[in-house]
């Protein structure tokens, strides 16, 4: 399944409810799912990780649809390598933000 096909599926399943809920509240649900993914990453149970990654992706797709963004087109930004250094793999140097 392509990203576009997945986005279309999520729209068929949930768009009417998501549109009624609106972007701000939908973003709140997305953030809650990211928190659940964070907990799953800490505990490392594969089945739970798969479920949480799927949920985060589905809510991200929902936000994109509500914002009239085609995620497959948006990902073209990375097709030719890192958007900054244009290399694959990225050779950018970065300051460490997280420990």
Domain 3-78 maps to which CATH number in 2.60.40.1220, 1.10.132.20, 1.10.4160.10, 1.10.287.1080? 1.10.287.1080
Q: Report pTM.
A: 0.88
Task: Sketch the domain layout of the chain as residue ranges.
Answer: 3-78
Q: What is the pLDDT along the chain (99 residues), one digit of tens a residue?
A: 999 999 999 999 999 999 999 999 999 999 999 999 999 999 988 889 999 999 999 999 999 999 999 999 999 999 999 999 999 999 999 877 766
Mind giving me the DSSP string for 15-53?
HHHHHHH-HHHHHHHHHHHHHHHHHHHHHT-HHHHHHHH
Complete DSSP assignment for 73-88: HHGGGGTTS-TTT--S
Please give the pLDDT value at position 99: 62
């Amino acid at each position: 399944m392509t990203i576009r096909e997945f986005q279309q599926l999520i729209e068929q399943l949930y768009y009417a409810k998501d549109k009624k809920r609106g972007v701000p509240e939908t973003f709140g649900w997305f953030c809650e799912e990211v928190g659940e993914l964070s907990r799953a990453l800490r505990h490392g149970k594969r089945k739970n990780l798969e479920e949480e990654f799927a949920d985060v992706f589905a809510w991200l797709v929902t936000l994109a649809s509500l914002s009239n963004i085609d995620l497959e087109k948006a990902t073209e930004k990375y097709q030719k390598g890192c958007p900054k250094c244009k290399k694959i793999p990225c050779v950018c140097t970065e300051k460490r933000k997280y420990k």
